[in-house]
């Protein structure tokens, strides 16, 4: 079964760092892009950025550039999203999702992780 499995929920304080993960299985991880999507409580979906694990080519939304870092380790089929200094406004559920492969560059996100809820509160 093709799937993405994300790390568990996190509770952090403002100013702390965090790295969450997204592990792919059941498909060729290096042949698909992985994207990260934010969903703040009760709100819509926001596209944060993408990475191609094969060569770590990374693209960010201008809204998130400099605020987060997206990375991947193709040896363990895992992508990451990290913050160096969290703010209360980072409280949200974060999803990873894949696109590309045989569906091509313009395809939608066809497989999603289950989401990681991040709560930042003092």
Residues that bind other proteins (CB under 8 A): 35, 37, 44-47, 49-50, 59, 61-63, 95, 97, 99, 103, 106-110, 112-115
CB of 89 vs other proteins, minimal distance in Å:
18
CB of 67 vs other proteins, minimal distance in Å:
13
Nearer Cβ to other proteins (24/49): 49
CB of 116 vs other proteins, minimal distance in Å:
11
Contact 9, 53 (CB under 8 A): no
> What does DSSP assign to residue 98?
E
CB of 13 vs other proteins, minimal distance in Å:
25
Q: How far apart are CA 66 and CA 80, in angstroms?
A: 15
Nearer Cβ to other proteins (5/76): 5
The CA distances from residue 28 to 49, 51, 77, 79, 120, in Å, are: 20, 15, 9, 13, 34
> What does DSSP assign to residue 68?
B
Q: Two tokens at 65? A: 């550039």
Nearer Cβ to other proteins (56/103): 103
């Amino acid at each position: 079964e093709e799937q993405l499995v994300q790390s568990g929920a996190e509770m952090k304080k403002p100013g702390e760092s965090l790295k969450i993960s997204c592990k792919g299985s059941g498909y060729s991880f290096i042949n698909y892009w992985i994207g990260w999507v934010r969903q703040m409580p009760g709100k819509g979906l926001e596209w944060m950025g993408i990475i191609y694990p094969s060569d770590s080519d990374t693209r960010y939304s201008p809204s998130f550039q400099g605020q987060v870092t997206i990375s991947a380790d193709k040896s363990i089929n895992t992508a990451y999203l990290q913050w160096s200094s969290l703010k209360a406004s980072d409280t949200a559920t974060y999803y990873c999702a894949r696109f590309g492969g045989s569906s091509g560059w313009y395809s939608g996100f066809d497989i999603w992780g289950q989401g990681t809820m991040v709560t930042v509160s003092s």
